[in-house]
Every structure is written in structure tokens, then in C-alpha cells.
Amino acid sequence: MKNVKHTLVIVLVLGLTFIITRSNINDYLLKILILFTISLIIFNLSFRKSLFLKKYFTSKYNVLTSKFRSEKVYDISEELMFEKVVEVINNSNLKIATADKLKLEILAITPITFTSWGESLYINFDSSTNGCVMHFCSVVPFGMYSWGKNEINSEYVLKKIEDSFTI
């Protein structure tokens, strides 16, 4: 079912591209703008599962993505916290796209739905005098406003982590 959704999105975007290029739109600027937008959507959705473009998606200068950042301090080591967050994400409705144990970075994604393009959740860890700091950034890959989805993702992950610490 998940592959069908992605296939439908790709077919829809390619179909729109074909229709726009074959139409009699006289305004070339409008054609360029529409093709640029479609290309940007394809680019963002194609590379949202890669840590390679983390700086592009999380940059404060990228106004085409909606972002929400938070930090939380935990009194355990970064390595243990990394393992705990991987375990929590694996036991949730999120999916780990990439997890780099050497850099202590995690990229989790939410599925694409009718109400969202899907969000990318970037999580990394730094050492602190009190333990470790978990840096969390939820990004909508295409949209200037997330309708609260980024904040919901942050609350969801933090709650799951807190619940996993209680016995």
C-alpha cells in the first residue's frame, strides 16, 4: 500500500508536467514557475530520506520547508540515549530512514498522507555536563506551514521516550 501511494504521487506529478508542457499557456513565466515547483516537490520528496541534505532541509534560510526545533537534556550517555531513541522509534508508527551510530544522528520519517507530505525527524546527540542533549528537528519537506504536525511529532517522540524510561 505504501508503494502505491508513492507511485500515485509520481504518476500525478509526471501527468501534470506532461499536461502543462503540452498546453497552450502563452505565459512562459507561468510555465517556468509551475515546472520549478513540480521539480522542487520531486527533489524534496526524493531526498528527504537522506542525512546528506540535512543542512538544506533544516537551514533557517530555506523558507520552503517548515521546521520545529527542540532540545532536551537526559542524564545518560549519548550512546545509550541513541540506542534508546532507535528502540522507541522502531516501536512507534515512525520509520527510521537512516541511523548513523558514529555521528549519533537519526533520521526518522512519517508516512505521506492526504493531509501531509510526510515529515522528516532529525535527531542528534551531544554530550553535556549533566548527561546528553538530544537535539530534535521536525521538517515538512515541502510546505511553509506544518499545521502543527511538527510540534505534534516532537511531543509524540518525547512522550514515547519518557514512557520508555518508566517501568
**What is the predicted pLDDT for the residue at 117?**
73
Q: H helices of the chain, where? A: 2-22, 28-47, 54-58, 78-90, 149-165
pLDDT in tens, 132-165: 999 999 998 877 667 778 888 888 888 988 888 8
| Position 12 pLDDT exceeds 90 | no
Q: For all residues of the chain together, what is the average pLDDT?
A: 83
